[in-house]
């Protein structure tokens, strides 16, 4: 009798779990599929109910996005800015995180606090000061060499991306380094490895899950970044999100919905692919807040 009752309670509980999980899953899948569908819809199909299945498949939306809205060129720019930004970020942040996590030295506490405070700096208000600073540098070398360098330069954009991501990345990576057992690096040091060798050969490979997480997070951030790219690249060379915004701003012209959603898909697809590729590693790398201090 008692057993039976707990069985049905168990069952109810299971049903509840599935209902909750499936509801959330549907609320995510439906809209995402909807965006894909909308990207092949005909312009006239956007005025009625948004939930209809496309009457025919308009690949011309994508062709238009690439040709008319120049998304191809912007795509390449975004790949460069994101890729280079990630490389610079890892080169700079990995050693710093390692040292901050595993070494005792004067000023360490201060550094940690400064990095922590850096988390609260919002790019939305520092972007113009950064722009003015680069402008000043440009003025200076313009006088010397007759050409600007820092603005409208995709490499500088990547560098700024990397710089603004440092606090969060260092925070995440050093959190992970702290969880690694001391024994490995002690053994390596005793074996006669220098500090650099220990870091590169032993510690960084061990931090791989966390590095994957950092790459994914920052890929998403850089790839979708809008405000810095807009401000630091005032010329004709743009990144994908800036191009997309241009596409979306209907201004007073008629909005080209099909092309707009095609643009959305172009921006979205790489992030989806990368995510599916690395999703397994994601949970491993997210150990935060020093669980095993």
Partner 1 sequence: MNKKKEKRRFIAVCLAPAIILFTVFMIIPTLNVFWMSTLKWGGLSANKEFVGLNNFKILFEDMNFIQALQNTIFLIVVVTIVTMVFSILFASILVREKVKGQNFFRIIFYIPNILSVVVIASIFTAIYDPSTNGLLNSIESLFRPETWETTKYLGDPNIMLYAISGAMIWQAIGYYMVMYMASMSSIPEHLYEAASLEGAGKIKQFFSITLPLIWSNIRTTLTFFIISCINLSFLFVKVFGSGPGGVSETVLSYMYKQAYSNASYGYGMAIGVIIFLFSFVLSALVSKATEREPLEF
Partner 2 sequence: MKKLLSVCMVGLMTLSLAACGSGDSGSDEKVLKISGLDGGYGTKGWEEVVKVFEEQNDVKVELTLEKNISETLRPVLTSGQDVPDLVYLSLGAEGRLTDTMVAEKQIADISDVLEMTVPGEDVTVEEKILPGFTEALTSSPYGDGNMYLAPINYGPCGLFFNAGLFEEKGWEVPTTWDEMWELGDKAKAEGIALFTYPTTGYFDAFFSALLNVTAGSETYTELMNYDTEAWESDEVKQAFEIVSKLATYTEENTVANANKESFTKNQQLILDNEALFIPNGTWLPGEMADAPKVEGFEWGFTALPKVGAEGDAYSTAFVEQVYIPSDAENQELAKEFIAFMYSDEAASLFYKYGAPKTDADNNIIEDEYNPGAVMPITTASTKIMSEGDANILFYSVYDNGAKSNPVGFVFKDTVEGVDLTSAEGILYGTVNEVVNGTKTVAEWHASVIEAVKKYND
CA 185-188-193 angle, to 5 degrees, is: 120
Question: Of 255, 268, 282, 286, which one interacts with partner 2 (CB under 8 A)?
Answer: 255
- Work out what residue 242 binds among partner 2, partner 1, none; the CB cut-off runs from 5 to 8 Å by kind: partner 2
How many other CB atoms are found less than 10 A from the CB of residue 97?
26
Q: Which does 47 bind (CB under 5 to 8 A by kind): partner 1, partner 2, none?
A: partner 2
CA distance 164 to 253: 36
- Per DSSP, the residues of 217-250 read HHHHHHHH--HHHHHH--SS---HHHHHHHHH--
How many of the other CB atoms lie within 10 Å of CB of 195? 13
For residues 171-190, which are near partner 1 according to CB under 8 A? none
Give the nearest distance from C-beta 143 to partner 1 in angstroms. 18
* Residues in region 53-112 near partner 2 by CB under 8 A: 60, 77, 80, 84, 87-88
125 is a site residue for partner 2 (CB under 8 A): no
Q: Closest CB to partner 1 among 79 and 282?
A: 282
**Rounded Cα distance, 68 and 262, in Å:** 12
Binds 203: which of partner 2, partner 1, none (CB < 5-8 Å by kind): none
79 HSE (CA, 13 A, CB side): 10
Residues 161-200, one symbol each (x = binds partner 2 by CB under 8 A, - = not), give: ----------------------------------------
CA 72 to centroid of chain Cα atoms: 20
Count residues binding partner 1 (CB under 8 A): 83
Nearest distance, CB of residue 274 and partner 1, angstroms: 8
User: From the list partner 1, partner 2, none, which binds 195 (C-beta under 5 to 8 Å, kind-based)?
Assistant: partner 1
Scan residues 128-157 and list those touching partner 1 (CB under 8 A).
Answer: 128-130, 132-133
Q: Give dist(CA 266, CA 259) in Å, integer.
A: 10
């Amino acid at each position: 009798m008692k057993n039976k009752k707990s069985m049905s309670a168990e069952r109810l509980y299971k049903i509840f779990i599935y209902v909750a999980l499936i509801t959330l899953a549907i609320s995510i899948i439906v809209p995402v599929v909807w965006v894909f569908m909308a990207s092949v819809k005909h312009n006239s199909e956007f005025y009625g109910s948004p939930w209809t299945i496309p009457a025919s498949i308009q690949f011309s939306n994508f062709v238009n996005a690439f040709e008319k809205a120049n998304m191809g060129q912007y795509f390449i720019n975004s790949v460069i800015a994101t890729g280079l930004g990630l490389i610079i970020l890892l080169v700079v942040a990995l050693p710093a995180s390692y040292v901050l996590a595993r070494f005792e030295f004067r000023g360490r506490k201060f550094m940690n606090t400064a990095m922590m405070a850096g988390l609260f700096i919002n790019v939305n208000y520092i972007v113009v000061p950064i722009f003015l600073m680069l402008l000043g540098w440009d003025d200076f070398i313009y006088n010397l060499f007759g050409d600007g360098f820092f603005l409208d330069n995709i490499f500088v954009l990547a560098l700024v991306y990397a710089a603004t991501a440092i606090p969060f990345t260092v925070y995440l990576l050093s959190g992970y380094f702290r969880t690694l057992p001391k024994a490995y690096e002690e053994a390596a040091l005793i074996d006669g490895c220098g500090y650099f060798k220990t870091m590169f050969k032993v510690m960084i490979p061990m931090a791989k899950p966390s590095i994957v997480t950092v790459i994914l997070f920052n890929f998403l951030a850089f790839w979708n970044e809008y405000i810095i790219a807009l401000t630091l690249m005032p010329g004709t060379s743009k990144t994908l999100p800036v191009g997309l915004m241009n596409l979306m701003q209907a201004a007073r012209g008629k909005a080209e919905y099909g092309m707009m959603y095609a643009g959305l898909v172009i921006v979205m697809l790489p992030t989806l692919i990368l995510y599916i590729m690395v999703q397994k590693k994601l949970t491993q790398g997210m150990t935060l807040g020093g669980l095993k201090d």
